[in-house]
Chain A
Amino acid sequence: MIDSTLAEISRALENRDISSVEITKAYLDRIAQENADLNAFITVTEDLAMAQAEAADKKRSEGSAGAFTGIPIAHKDLFCTNGIRTSCGSKMLDNFIAPYNATVVERFNNAGAVTLGKTNMDEFAMGSSNETSFYGPVKNPWDRSLVPGGSSGGSAAAVAARLCAGATATDTGGSIRQPASFSGITGIKPTYGRVSRWGMVAFASSLDQAGTMTQSAEDAALMLNVMAGMDEKDSTCSTIDTEDYTASLDKPLEGLRIGLPVEHFSEGLSADMEECIRDAVGEYEKLGATVKDIQLPNSHLSVSAYYVIAPAEASANLSRYDGVRYGYRCDNPVDLEDMYKRTRSEGFGTEVKRRIMVGTYALSAGYYDAYYRKAQKIRRLIKNDFQSAFEEVDVIMGPTSPHTAFAIGSQNDDPVTMYLEDIYTIAVNLAGLPGISIPAGFINNLPVGLQIVGKDFAEAQLLNVAHKFQQATDWHKKAPQD
């Protein structure tokens, strides 16, 4: 049963083919067997999971269960969980036990979900390979010498290796979609503001957005039904109504207008990746969609603008880690400045310090206009590009990543090489749009992800477009062998 999709588990629970205690035990056993090697979980919450599973079964016997009651999931370790460590993959928060739940966690708890644990991630979500985690790299279940992608690498690997039915994740520049593509699963980053950021450890506040990692689009719809929607506690959370994201999954795609950005099918894309993506698009034509080339002329500047905006916001957000109120504090500080500096130098890893430095530089006197203001202007141009494109097409498709998963340790010499991993995903965050990556084939036995980008708040349409592909193909059903 643990190989089943989240939707199948939901139906099995409803039909009483299986109890929540049974399926939860099965996942915990599999985690016990696999996690020492995969390193997908930082914390496994066995006791909590069993208590929640028993409560879920009781609720069902009383006739008050919902679609999510009793389903075992995992949370990326940057969602605050009351009484359970929230490390954000950092030594700085290794001892941090939040006294409250993130809104996302609270909503899953209220829906009756079972929490199996907290998943590994790049430190403070800064990375594209899950190698910057204080708790060590996560292995890709398809080939354990490779990275699973990042920053939500633990959530991606946990879903791919069937250690949970689904997982929460976050995406600031590609951190859901890229690991979903490397790990052969479905990952959706909703529109900025669709899901509350309250209780998420902040990285870059104008870009961070919570989403899901699942086997299928139908599973993602079930999770989004729980997570999405207005939250008074997050003033950037949208007041636009949510929908039942499962309602339109089966809508026919006749007449769907697909745009292919010529910039995403040019240099830097391998021939076999291009073939794989064009085959997937061909599948959509069979389903009645029309395809045309479009242009996103400023997309080549998205990584540059992002590496001003995200580090600038991060340098401000991470100034709170000062050793005073919570988290790590250095031993025997001689004075306040010594405490700040040594706490931060010992508590943060190399990549986090690097981004704080870049952000501090970009915001410092004399450089603000040349960097931060310039980046915000580029951000406008990028958003305008998408708006023009969406006058002609309904969705935009292309590769999620320029290639398949790479070897652990192979891309650490120059940070810029790693930054360019997110070349196809970053513009979507700058524009605030929803994007999804779905399994679309294999190259040398490694999964390939197709990225689909939609208009603002078009999550239901994206999931419909993804689901119809998954009805016609079986790439998303492939699972790694142990």
Chain B
Amino acid sequence: MPMELANVENIAHLARLHLSDEEKKEAADSMSNILKLIDQMQSVNTDNIEPLAHAFDNVQRLRYDAVTETNTRDELQKIAPEAEEGLFLVPKVIE
């Protein structure tokens, strides 16, 4: 059974994706198939199994709290869609 369109629309909104009506239908179908594949996991009992987030569950390495980066703002903003006086420009947010 395909996923409900309202559900697809909600997920698309959470992911900040705009889907056309056709794309929504396609997403409903393919996501149902993918969830069927994923649901095979439920065939195994995993009570009392510790989740593994990472292949090596080590603690994150730390470094000294010292400044290592140089200021490359201008260089990084050269590839921005729109930047001005050190600021990234976006459509007006506050009226």
Chain A residues proximal to chain B, CB less than 8 Å:
95-97, 99, 192-193, 206-207, 232, 235-236, 238-239, 298, 300-301, 303-305, 307-308, 315, 319, 322-329, 333-342, 344-345, 348, 350, 353-354, 356-358, 360-362, 364, 371, 373-381, 383, 414-416, 419, 430-433, 456
**Are the C-beta atoms of A360 and B56 separated by less than 8 Å?**
no
Bound complex: CA of A81 vs CA of B61, how far in Å?
26
**Whole-angstrom distance between the Cβ of B41 and the nearest chain A Cβ:** 5
A99→B75 contact, CB < 8 A? yes
Chain B residues within an 8 Å CB radius of A207: 55
**Chain B hits for A327, CB < 8 A:** 81
Is the CB–CB distance between A354 and B76 below 8 Å? no
Question: Which of A239, A307, A354, A378 has a CB less than 8 Å from the CB of B27?
Answer: A354
Q: How far is the CA of A344 from the CA of B91 in the complex (A)?
A: 16
User: Which residue in chain B gives the minimum CB-CB distance to A428?
Assistant: B55
Q: Mark B44-82, 1 if CB is under 8 A from A, else 0.
A: 101001111111100011010000000010011011111
Q: Which residue of B lies closest to A237 (CB)?
A: B61
Shortest CB distance A455–B (Å): 13
Q: Are B34 and A377 in contact (CB under 8 A)?
A: no
B19, B38, B61, most chain A CB atoms within 10 A: B38
Q: Is the CB of A374 within 8 A of B16?
A: no
Sort A-B residue pairs by CB-CB distance and give the 9 closest, nearest first: A432-B55, A376-B51, A329-B81, A377-B46, A380-B52, A341-B18, A340-B16, A345-B18, A377-B49
CA–CA, A303 to B54, complex, Å? Answer: 16
| B6 on the A face (CB < 8 A) | no
Q: How far is the CB of A244 from chain B (nearest CB, A)?
A: 24
Are A326 and B80 in touch, CB under 8 angstroms?
yes
Contacts of B5 in A (CB 8 A): none
With a CB–CB cut-off of 8 A, which chain B residues contact A432? 54-56
Q: Which residues does chain A contribute within 8 Å of B46, judged by CB atoms? A: 374, 377-378, 381
| Nearest Cβ on chain A to B91's Cβ, whole angstroms | 5
Cross-chain contact A415 with B30 (CB below 8 angstroms): yes
In whole Å, how far is B47's beta carbon from the nearest beta carbon of chain A?
A: 9
**Chain B at the A interface: SS class:** loop
CB-CB nearest in chain B for A234 = B61
Q: Is the CB of B11 within 8 A of A430?
A: no
A416 touches B11 (CB 8 A): no
Contacts A97-B79, A360-B11, A416-B36 aside, 16 further interface pairs with beta carbons under 8 A come to A99-B79, A206-B55, A308-B38, A325-B88, A326-B79, A328-B81, A337-B16, A344-B18, A354-B31, A374-B46, A378-B41, A380-B52, A381-B44, A383-B55, A415-B33, A433-B55
Assign chain B's interface to a size class: 35 or more
Chain A's closest residue to B26 (CB) is A350
Interfacial residues, chain B to chain A (CB-CB below 8 A): 8, 11-12, 14-19, 23, 26-27, 30-31, 33-44, 46, 49-56, 60-61, 63, 72, 75-76, 78-82, 88, 90-93
User: Complex: how many Å from CA A361 to CA B27?
Assistant: 12
A375-B56 CB under 8 A given contacts A324-B80, A342-B18: no
The reply to whether B49 and A357 form a contact with Cβ atoms under 8 Å apart is: no
Q: Is the CB of A235 within 8 A of B79?
A: no
Which B residues are in CB contact (< 8 Å) with A324?
80-81, 88, 90
The residue that B16 contacts in the complex, of A193, A232, A238, A344, with Cβ under 8 A, is: A344
Q: How far is the CA of A304 from the CA of B55 in the complex (A)?
A: 17
Min C-beta distance of B42 to chain A, whole Å: 7
CB pair B91–A415 under 8 Å, yes or no, is no
Contact A357 B56 (CB under 8 A): no
Contact A333 B16 (CB under 8 A): no
A208 to nearest B CB, angstroms?
Answer: 11
Chain B residues within an 8 Å CB radius of A333 = 91
Contact in complex: A232, B17 (CB < 8 Å)? no
Tell me the bound Cα distance from A141 to B74 in angstroms. 44
Asked whether A416 and B33 contact (CB < 8 A) given A325-B88, A379-B51, A430-B55, the answer is yes
Contacts of B23 in A (CB 8 A): 350, 353
Q: Please measure, in the bound complex, the distance between the C-alpha atom of A340 and the C-alpha atom of B38, giving whole angstroms.
A: 29
Residues of chain B within 8 A (CB-CB) of A336 are 90-91, 93
